[in-house]
Amino acid sequence: MNKSIVLLCGLAYAAAGFAESGTLTLEQALELARKNSPELRAFRMYSQAAEKGMSAAGLWNNPILKMEAEGVGGDLDGFNDGEYTIGLMQRFKRGGKQAHERDIAFQTFDAAGNAALAAELELTEQVRRAFIEVMTQQEIGKVRVEQEQLGQAFVEVAKRRRDAGGGSELDVVQAELALEEIILTQTCCFGDLVAGQETLASLIGISVAELTAPYYELESLDEIAVGNSYPVLQRLAAESEKVRAEARQAKAQDAADVLLGAGYRYEAAGDINSFVFSIAMPLSFNKRGHAESAAASLRADAVLAEREEVRRKLQAELATVLALYRGSMIEVELTKNNLIPKAEQAYELSRAGYDAGRFSWLELIAAQQNLSEIRIRYIEALRDAHLARAQISKFMKEGR
């Protein structure tokens, strides 16, 4: 059975198109995910684009080159009285428009950067969870392999006892039935392992034969709160400030820009050269900027309200997952310190009693299966704790 599982694993890896082998740690998996994630690349590009936008925001308008020619080729009365004017015009923005543009660009960049950090935290949690699921199936698989080896030994013992006249054919059948059940369970375990490996491979970009991690170690955690530095909250704060900057920019639109011009004029009739100066300013009869500013301010308040709702949900999620983690830790300790020792003792007593003829074959197999199931229960309790810890990691500094 073990050889067939190895063969099926090899076929699964080949079908997935991965040729890598060896072990993989959680840190390596996280690094690969950050490197190979298309989503993170997209967020980084958005952030880079926003950074480029900062360099262009608030720049002066380019000057306008203006040229006029009048009476070219002679007037209607036949005289050559042409006039030529050439000059430059520059728009001067009033009301702090340039500063508001720079503020909007900065807040856009800040929001994009925090969106990238939030996406990285989500990816980190997903990789941790997928890694844990594969580790769990690996550890369960080890128990099933030991169980299979013991089941094969039971079959051999039952056959020898039957051949020696100390056992019955029923004992052999019962031992073989128990072994078949173990093999069937092992097959289901293999399916869960391959599914977990495929999920992890989709996140990190490669597949490996085995993962390695301190699976049987858990750490105590202090109280954690969702701070203002949490990327999702930072992003929403930047979004709110961006909308407020847009509100200030909208209000500044009511301040009319000034268009100044200066140049040189030549009058052919009198052979006169002179400097000319002009000024233009639109008349602001309609104050649209005030209404647009008020609307933008309301949107900014709405973003802040959304931020507080997100904070509330995050804090509730954190409190829930902390409780689950601590509850799982208690289950892990009780299973490790109480259930497993008792199950091991019951198995040893059943084996000794069977050898002495006091217990039946069914009682021995039941004790052995009970020990295996409790060991698997211990592994699954650890899985629940690790999954909760993975969820907690996104609330901790740098996703640790």
**Of the candidates 206, 238, 270, 259, the residue with the CA atom closest to the CA atom of residue 29:** 206
Question: In this predicted structure, which of 109-123, 151-165, 295-309 has the lowest mean pLDDT?
Answer: 151-165
What lies within 8 Å, CB to CB, of 246 at 6+ separation is: 100, 104, 296
d(CA 23, CA 25): 7
DSSP 76-87: TTS----EEEEE
Residue 180's pLDDT is: 82
Domains observed in the chain: 2-399 (1.20.1600.10)
pLDDT digits (tens, 9 = 90+) for 231-280: 999 999 999 999 999 898 888 888 888 999 999 988 877 778 899 998 98
Averaged pLDDT for residues 129-143: 92
What lies within 8 Å, CB to CB, of 376 at 6+ separation is: 140, 143
The residue ranking higher by pLDDT, 171 or 331, is 331
The two structure tokens encoding residue 229: 């530095």
pLDDT > 70? residue 169: yes
Residue 398's pLDDT is: 56
Residue 190's pLDDT is: 76
Question: In this predicted structure, which of 95-99, 118-122, 131-135 has the lowest mean pLDDT?
Answer: 95-99
Residue 12's pLDDT is: 40
pLDDT digits (tens, 9 = 90+) for 36-84: 999 999 999 999 999 888 888 888 888 999 998 887 665 555 556 678 8
Averaged pLDDT for residues 289-309: 92
pLDDT > 90? residue 208: no
φ/ψ (deg, to 5) at 211: -105, 155
DSSP 352-372: HHHHTTSS-HHHHHHHHHHHH
